[in-house]
């Protein structure tokens, strides 16, 4: 063999190694890759290339302005005008609230513009979806030890040909909206991957895969993944922080990261980056993370804390720079402008200066400035504490309002009266009835309390993630308790992180863990039957009995609660042996399948926005349902 051939083989082998290393870093193993590809395929089915919520106009117009080299919005390229929710006014002009998602969507817009210049955008996106489906089928075959290349190719070609035959042109001027949606879809597709990778670190691959399926099919993740709102991003971020927190308490076993403190720094860096997207929730994440991590960490040396703090401060650079350019303050995000405005900030500063010079007993001016800076810097913490305090008050004085958000939405009379129209909103449990199994955590916690085991200051990797998940779910609920329920949030979207963290906590319950591990096939069949066969029955029931959208939502709510109630009883009973395990697997599958039915009907029927479905075959199905 010649030297040139040998060199070529070495380079090819090195290239393969690099691809495998990258895939391992991103997905972990084949099941992680399957979770990503499967999520992309499902999100593609749900995807509507239209504005679902009016808040999106602010983001898409912000991206339009940024793509034209302007930070401030001067033209309403999308929507009726720039006077839409999410647009704030500054001295420099109109700006959007969320520039993190806007900037990160810019590369997707560049790619879409390049595709639109040489090909039909609709056909190209359908082709990308078909490639993802083909990769999913082939990867699934390799995981199962079967050759599915031919079957995958035939299936992909048939679906691609059918979609092309039914295709209608996609508006090439809408690339800014499509870019935002693609960015959110891509980020959301990593949420199941992170859920799987976190659980597979200390549980079996079977259980991790089953819980990942619960997250994908048993929660509204697919519904919000295609909508340019922060909710799907938050789901991925909280799981990424939980994963990094876990890895920070275990021995490093990868070639890329060789020190545990790197993962600890990554957890805080993720919080800083998320502040670029949604600063108030990022602040809550920071408080919860620090409260859980610092007191229980095995190493809090000055060097370690300096590294973690430096990573956090560095991650805040995009957030601070954006704020400074747009609002004049590095710590005041655009989202807070509506609360006070730029003028109020200037007035506050002027008052402080005059007070220091008008009295002979006043503090020195530098000290006044320092105190003002401290008060200004801690103002976000004061606001956060105030909102959580309001939430605690609501939970103690008006538990019915909290129950309406978490358990039974009812008719949401108060929100209905304010809006003057039908209420279309499900509670947390009605949106994801599979979370009813979390009731089994009550006897588990009670048994642990009665055991009175000594708690070590240093928490292990699993324990610290459990505490983080529970504490963040609790504080986030309290943060929004005084404002919920709202009129049309569909699935309690402001509490969306409770869905991924709830799925994780399901996998931590002994009865659920043992049942899904031993009877995962029965769970899969239960989910499939409930979604495919039960979905048809639910659709017929809705079309024949529900009068109006609000009535249809309440029918879904009742079905969800009907499946969640026996699931909660089984979970509290806590048995997974024999027939109890079989019954539990079926109940988990049915509850998961009912959520899938709701998400599909929302996308295909309840909120089908004209000719906006990405896949033409899905559009035809939606049009058929409308005729029925």
> Kindly report the CA angle at 413 between 412 and 417, in degrees rounded to 5?
120
> 623 lies in a domain?
yes
Q: What is the pLDDT of residue 354?
A: 37
Q: Which tens digit of pLDDT belongs to each residue from 473-515?
A: 999 999 998 887 766 678 888 999 999 999 999 999 999 999 9
Q: What is the pLDDT of residue 375?
A: 66
Which residues, 6 or more positions from 467, have their beta carbon under 8 angstroms from its beta carbon? 292, 296, 459
> 347 lies in a domain?
no
pLDDT at 565 over 90: yes
pLDDT at 278 over 80: yes
Helices (H), 453-577: 461-481, 498-508, 510-518, 520-545, 549-573
Cα gap 276→319, rounded to integer Å:
5
User: Is 538 in a helix, a strand, or coil?
Assistant: helix
Q: Are 390 and 481 in contact (CB under 8 A)?
A: yes
| 485 preceded by a cis bond (ω within 30 of 0) | yes
Q: What is the pLDDT of residue 523?
A: 94
Which is nearest to 613 in space by CA: 166, 195, 102, 301?
Answer: 166
Structure tokens at 241: 């922080």
pLDDT at 225 over 80: yes
> 376 lies in a domain?
no
Which is nearest to 498 in space by CA: 385, 405, 401?
Answer: 405
Cα gap 238→518, rounded to integer Å:
29
Any bridge partners for residue 73, and if so which?
Answer: 94
For the packed helices 260-275 and 317-327, what is the interaxial angle rounded to 10 degrees?
20
Q: How far is CA 185 from CA 177, 236, 416, in A?
A: 12, 11, 31
Q: Which tens digit of pLDDT belongs to each residue from 345-400?
A: 233 333 333 333 444 445 556 666 666 666 666 777 888 888 898 889 988 888 88
Which is nearest to 455 in space by CA: 444, 467, 470, 443?
Answer: 467
How sure is the predictor about 255, in pLDDT bands with cuts at 50, 70 and 90? low
Which is nearest to 109 in space by CA: 56, 184, 175?
Answer: 175
> 373 lies in a domain?
no
Domains in the chain, number: 1
SS3 content of the chain, % helix, strand, coil (to 5): 75, 0, 25
Least confident of 61-75, 145-159, 286-300, 349-363: 349-363
Least confident of 15-24, 34-43, 333-342: 333-342
DSSP state at residue 456: P
User: Is 490 in a helix, a strand, or coil?
Assistant: strand
Cα gap 309→272, rounded to integer Å:
11
Which residues, 6 or more positions from 92, have their beta carbon under 8 angstroms from its beta carbon? 71, 72, 326
Percent of the chain with pLDDT over 70: 86
Structure tokens at 606: 């309840």
> 348 lies in a domain?
no
Structure tokens at 154: 């035939």
Mean pLDDT throughout 57-64?
90
pLDDT at 65 over 50: yes
> Kindly report the CA angle at 537 between 533 and 543, in degrees rounded to 5?
145
Which residues, 6 or more positions from 302, have their beta carbon under 8 angstroms from its beta carbon? none
Mean pLDDT throughout 258-263?
87
Q: How far is CA 50 from CA 413, 434, 491, 496, in A?
A: 30, 30, 20, 22
Cα gap 513→462, rounded to integer Å:
15
Mean pLDDT throughout 465-474?
95
Q: Would you list the DSSP string of 205-252? A: HHHHHHHHHHHHHSSTHHHHHTSSSSHHHHHHHHHHHHHHHHHTTS--
Mean pLDDT throughout 302-327?
91
Which is nearest to 431 in space by CA: 232, 266, 577, 218?
Answer: 218
451-454: Cβ within 8 A, 24+ apart: none
Q: What is the pLDDT of residue 467?
A: 94
How sure is the predictor about 240, in pLDDT bands with cuts at 50, 70 and 90? very high
Start-to-end C-alpha separation, the chain: 69
pLDDT at 142 over 60: yes
Mean pLDDT throughout 180-186?
95
624 vs 190, residue with greater confidence:
190
Q: Are 315 and 282 in contact (CB under 8 A)?
A: no
Q: Domain of residue 164: give its range.
A: 3-327+397-627
Q: Which tens digit of pLDDT belongs to each residue from 79-110?
A: 888 888 888 888 778 888 888 999 999 999 99
Taking the C-alpha atoms of 258, 260, 263 and 267 in order, what is their torsion angle to the nearest 10 degrees?
A: -170
Any bridge partners for residue 87, and if so which?
Answer: 96
Strands in 311-430 per DSSP E:
none
332-336: Cβ within 8 A, 24+ apart: 333/97, 333/275, 333/279, 334/88, 334/90, 334/95, 334/96, 334/97, 334/98, 334/99, 335/88, 335/97, 335/98, 335/278, 335/279, 335/280, 336/279
Cα gap 602→553, rounded to integer Å:
10
For the packed helices 205-217 and 498-508, what is the interaxial angle rounded to 10 degrees?
150
> 45 lies in a domain?
yes
Mean pLDDT throughout 161-185?
88
Q: What is the pLDDT of residue 82?
A: 82
Mean pLDDT throughout 250-259?
77
Per residue in 6-43, is it b (16+ CB within 10 Å) or e — as a string? eeeeeeeeeeeeeeeeeeeeebbeebbbbbbbbbbbbb
Q: What is the pLDDT of residue 282?
A: 93
Q: Are 571 and 515 in contact (CB under 8 A)?
A: no
DSSP state at residue 173: G
> 530 lies in a domain?
yes
Q: What is the pLDDT of residue 352?
A: 38
Query: Looking only at Cα atoms, what is the longest distance across the chain?
Result: 92
Structure tokens at 453: 């085991």
Least confident of 414-418, 456-460, 562-566: 414-418
Q: Which tens digit of pLDDT belongs to each residue from 10-32?
A: 455 466 677 777 878 888 889 99
Which residues, 6 or more positions from 231, have their beta carbon under 8 angstroms from its beta carbon? 224, 493, 496
Which residues, 6 or more positions from 158, have their beta carbon under 8 angstroms from its beta carbon? none
> 301 lies in a domain?
yes
């Amino acid at each position: 063999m010649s030297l040139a051939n040998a060199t070529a083989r070495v380079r090819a082998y090195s290239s393969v190694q690099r691809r495998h290393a990258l895939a391992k870093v991103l997905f972990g193993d084949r099941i992680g890759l399957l979770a990503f590809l499967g999520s992309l395929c499902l999100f593609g089915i749900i995807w509507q290339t239209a504005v679902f919520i009016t808040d999106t106009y602010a983001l898409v117009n912000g991206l339009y302005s940024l793509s034209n080299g302007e930070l401030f919005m001067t033209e309403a390229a999308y929507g009726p005008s720039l006077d839409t929710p999410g647009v704030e006014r500054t001295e420099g002009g109109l700006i959007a609230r969320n520039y993190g998602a806007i900037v990160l969507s810019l590369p997707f817009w560049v790619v879409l513009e390049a595709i639109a210049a040489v090909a039909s955008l609709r056909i190209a996106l359908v082709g990308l979806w078909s490639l993802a489906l083909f990769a999913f089928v082939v990867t699934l075959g390799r995981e199962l030890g079967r050759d599915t290349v031919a079957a995958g190719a035939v299936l992909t070609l048939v679906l691609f040909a059918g979609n092309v035959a039914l295709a209608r042109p996609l508006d090439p001027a809408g690339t800014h909206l499509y870019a935002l949606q693609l960015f959110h879809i891509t980020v959301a597709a990593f949420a199941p991957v992170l859920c799987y990778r976190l659980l597979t670190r200390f549980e079996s691959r079977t259980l991790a895969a089953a819980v990942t399926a619960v997250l994908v099919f048993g929660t509204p993740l697919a519904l919000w993944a295609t909508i340019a709102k922060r909710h799907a991003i938050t789901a991925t971020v909280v799981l990424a922080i939980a994963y990094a927190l876990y890895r920070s308490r275990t021995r490093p076993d990868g070639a890329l990261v060789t020190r545990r403190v790197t993962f600890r720094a990554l957890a805080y860096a993720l919080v800083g980056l998320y502040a670029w997207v949604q600063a108030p929730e990022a602040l809550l994440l920071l408080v919860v993370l620090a409260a859980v991590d610092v007191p229980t960490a095995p190493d809090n040396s000055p060097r370690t804390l300096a590294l973690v703090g430096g990573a956090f401060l560095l991650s805040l650079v995009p957030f601070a720079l954006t704020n400074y350019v747009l609002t004049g303050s590095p710590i005041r995000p655009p989202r807070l402008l509506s609360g006070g405005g730029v003028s109020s900030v200037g007035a506050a500063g002027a008052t402080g200066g005059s007070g220091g010079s008008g009295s002979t007993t006043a503090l020195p001016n530098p000290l006044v400035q320092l105190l003002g800076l401290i008060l200004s810097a801690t103002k976000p913490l004061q606001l956060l504490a105030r909102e959580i305090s309001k939430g605690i008050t609501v939970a103690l004085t008006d538990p019915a309002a909290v129950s309406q958000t978490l358990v039974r939405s009812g008719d949401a009379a108060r929100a209905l009266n304010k809006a003057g129209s039908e209420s279309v909103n499900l509670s947390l449990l009605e949106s994801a009835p599979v979370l009813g199994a979390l009731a089994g955590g009550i006897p588990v916690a009670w048994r642990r309390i009665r055991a009175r085991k000594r708690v070590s200051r240093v928490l292990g990797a699993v324990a610290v993630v459990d505490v983080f998940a529970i504490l963040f779910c609790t504080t986030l609920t309290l943060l929004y308790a005084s404002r919920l329920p709202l009129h049309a949030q569909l699935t309690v979207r402001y509490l969306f992180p409770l869905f991924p963290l709830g799925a994780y906590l399901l996998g931590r319950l002994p009865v659920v863990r043992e049942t899904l591990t031993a009877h995962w096939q029965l769970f899969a069949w239960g989910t499939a039957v409930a979604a495919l066969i039960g979905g048809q029955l639910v659709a017929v029931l809705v079309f024949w009995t529900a009068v109006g959208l609000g009535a249809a939502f309440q029918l879904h709510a009742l079905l969800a609660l009907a499946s969640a109630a026996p699931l909660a009883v089984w979970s509290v009973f806590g048995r997974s042996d024999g027939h109890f395990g079989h019954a539990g697997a079926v109940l988990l599958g049915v509850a998961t399948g009912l959520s899938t039915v709701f998400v599909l009907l929302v996308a295909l029927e309840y909120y089908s926005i004209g000719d906006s479905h990405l896949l033409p075959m899905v559009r035809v199905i939606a049009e058929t349902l409308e005729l029925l």
